[in-house]
Amino acid sequence: MNEWMVEHEYESVAQMRGSLSQRHCAEPSAFERANYMKTLQSYSPSTT
pLDDT for res 11? 92
Provide the strand spans (E) within 1-48: none
Asked if residue 48 belongs to a domain, the reply is: no
pLDDT for res 26? 81
pLDDT reading at 3 higher than 90: yes
CA distance 10 to 44: 35
Q: What total of structural domains would you count in the chain? A: 1
How large is the greatest C-alpha to C-alpha distance in the chain, in angstroms?
Answer: 47
Asked if residue 40 belongs to a domain, the reply is: no
pLDDT for res 27? 84
Q: Are 37 and 43 in contact (CB under 8 A)?
A: no
Asked if residue 9 belongs to a domain, the reply is: yes
Could you report the per-residue pLDDT of 18-42, keeping only the tens digit for each? 777 777 778 888 888 888 999 999 8
| Backbone conformation region of residue 28, classed left if phi is above 0, alpha if psi is from -120 to 50, else beta | alpha
Asked if residue 11 belongs to a domain, the reply is: yes
Q: What is the DSSP letter of 9?
A: T
Three-class SS of residue 6? helix
